[in-house]
Amino acid sequence: MDSNTTSRLEAGRTPETTPDVTAAMLQQVIETSLSGLCIADRQGSIAFANPSLLAMWGYDLSEVVGKPVTRLWLSAEEGRDCIDRALSAGGWTGTVAARRRDASSFPSRISLSTVRDPGTADVWLLLSCIEVNDAPGRRSSLERAVAAMPARFMDTAEIDPAIDDSLEDLGRACGACRVYLALFNDLRTLLGTTHEWCRAGQAPLRGESRNLFKGDPPRWAVRVLEGETVIVNGASGDGRPDRIEREFLRRHGATVILMIPLRLNGAPVGFFGFDMDGDEACFAEEDVALLSAAVHIIAGAIDRKQSEYVFRASEGLYQIVLDAITDTVTVVDTRLTLLLANDAFVAWCEDLGLETNVVGKDLFSVVPFFPPATRQLYERVIRTGRPLTSERSLKTGDRIMILREMRIPIFEHGEVVRVVTVARDVTAQREVEDLKSKAYAQIDRNMEQFALLADHIRNPLQAIMGRAELLDDIETTEKIRQQVQRINGIIDQLDERWGESRRLSMFWRKYS
């Protein structure tokens, strides 16, 4: 920035309003100020930076002039947002995560204001900043990042992008240069990074795996597997340098690493790592507590996803079993929405020309010919919590069918939440039973007629025998008596067969 530009800047009291203050004096004040000062044009390109700002960020003047001022922010998006606010409101002040030339981060208190060149009416941005110890501000950002996580993990199907987004938010909030999830294999011999966020300039480690047991396992790995939260800073327990830890830090490009174990089903399966690369980087106890809460949220979501996976696997097995049942099986909720239907029910719907894509739909929209009494039966089961068996006749078009149904309530926390219905079309069975009933009735009538017929035969025989006794011809009378006795013998045999048939008919009626 030349002296002419300096003299034209209008920001509060200017050289025009204070004639005794020269441009050279202003230049000297700017260059000796302990606060970092930077001037950028409306497009955000740096035109000038004083020595304090250059020292704070670790740049030379030639490295920043003409470059975007957003490079001073850890997040360029956050920088653009701050600039937009300053341009729209005339100024903005706040604490941001700043990014040094070596890619390390630090908190900085920044004030942005707009100044206008009276000669050209151009708008310039004046940035004033100081480096601050912003642990409370950083903690507030971390609290907001943790508070936003539960809503992100509502849908377990999107758990992977939710983890990635959370790692980025946590990393930016706590000032880390890298945040990642590393998992052990089942034998605890390999460690692989499955999710990661890293700051620009950091080499990604996602997808890499490491053999932990080429020799003795690292001390930090043993402690993590024991469920202990570990801070790796290159020093052993007695304060002496630890070669393995220093190599681990060098590989990660970090000066300190926080490792928080990930527990699933009560056992550590990996850890969340938080890398920092500043010379004075450290993790306060409050930050560790907040990050541990964040890990707990993610662990809960992973546990829930695993449980849902197991449930779906068991549900698939149950579906296979249900599909093997020839009776129709359906499950509805208390609003009578179909939650599950086996193949037999779908085939029954298809046979009747009904909708076959039934899950998620109202039962009465799928089977529109169900009478209102069906709804009452379901309501009775839901209200009383007792199973109910029914048999009824249904008519659809010119077809009449008879269904035998059993409704079984399913409880959760003492309340009926679902109803399982097992139904069987017994129309053919009922038709056979009707035919049997008619056949048995006809047999009974035939046997009664047979008994009457036997009596009707015996009565005339008695008359014939009486008439024969009146004859004077003894030989003829004897012949008639013999024939009558023969006929009576045949009728007696028929009576015996009738009795056997009667008993057999009763047996069939009872056991068929």
Between CA 134 and CA 348 the distance in angstroms is: 69
> Residue type at 225?
L
- What's the mean pLDDT in 390-419? 88
Is the model's pLDDT at 469 over the cut of 50?
yes
Task: Look at residue 182 and give its three-state secondary structure.
Answer: strand
CB 129 within 8 A of CB 35: yes
Which stretches does DSSP call E strand in 90-199? 91-99, 105-116, 123-131, 178-184, 190-198
Between CA 188 and CA 182 the distance in angstroms is: 12
Q: How far is CA 326 from the centre of its chain?
A: 32
CA distances in angstroms from 288 to 197, 231, 273, 283, 399, listed in the order given: 18, 10, 11, 6, 72
pLDDT tens per residue across span 138-197: 567 788 888 888 888 888 778 889 999 999 989 888 888 899 999 988 777 788 889 999
446 against 423, higher pLDDT = 423
Q: pLDDT band at residue 20, thresholds of 50, 70 and 90?
A: low
Q: pLDDT band at residue 136, thresholds of 50, 70 and 90?
A: low
Torsion of CA 432, 433, 435, 438, to 10 degrees: 180
Which stretches does DSSP call E strand in 117-223? 123-131, 178-184, 190-198, 209-211
345 against 97, higher pLDDT = 345
CB 105 within 8 A of CB 175: yes
Q: Which residues of 72-102 are buried (b: 16+ CB within 10 A; e: fewer)?
A: bbbbeeebeebbeebbeeeebeebbbbbbee
- What's the mean pLDDT in 9-18? 44
> Residue type at 265?
N
pLDDT tens per residue across span 372-402: 999 999 999 999 999 999 888 888 888 888 8
Predicted local distance difference test score (pLDDT) of residue 449 = 73
pLDDT tens per residue across span 49-99: 999 899 888 899 999 999 999 989 888 888 888 888 888 888 888 888 888
Q: For the chain, what percent of residues have pLDDT higher than 70?
A: 87
Predicted local distance difference test score (pLDDT) of residue 258 = 93
Of the ranges 126-130, 263-267, 452-456, 507-511, the best mean pLDDT one: 126-130
Q: Which of 345-359, 429-443, 481-495 has the lowest mean pLDDT?
A: 429-443
**Phi, psi of 43, rounded to the nearest 5 degrees:** -80, -5
Predicted local distance difference test score (pLDDT) of residue 386 = 93
Q: What is the DSSP letter of 186?
A: T
Predicted local distance difference test score (pLDDT) of residue 12 = 42
Q: Are strands 230-232 and 388-396 parallel, antiparallel or unpaired?
A: unpaired
Between CA 374 and CA 447 the distance in angstroms is: 44
CB 112 within 8 A of CB 92: yes
Question: Which residues does residue 124 pair with via DSSP β-bridges, in sequence order?
Answer: 41, 115
Q: For the chain, what percent of residues have pLDDT higher than 90?
A: 22
End-to-end CA distance of the chain: 110
Rg (CA), the chain: 47
Q: Are strands 105-116 and 91-99 parallel, antiparallel or unpaired?
A: antiparallel
Predicted local distance difference test score (pLDDT) of residue 180 = 93
CB 147 within 8 A of CB 296: no
Is the model's pLDDT at 2 over the cut of 60?
no
Q: Which residues neighbour 401 within 8 Å (Cβ) at sequence distance 6 or greater?
A: 393, 394, 395, 425, 427
Is the model's pLDDT at 511 over the cut of 60?
yes
Predicted local distance difference test score (pLDDT) of residue 14 = 43
- Please choose, from the candidates 210, 214, 215, the residue with its C-alpha nearest in 3D space to the C-alpha of residue 273: 210
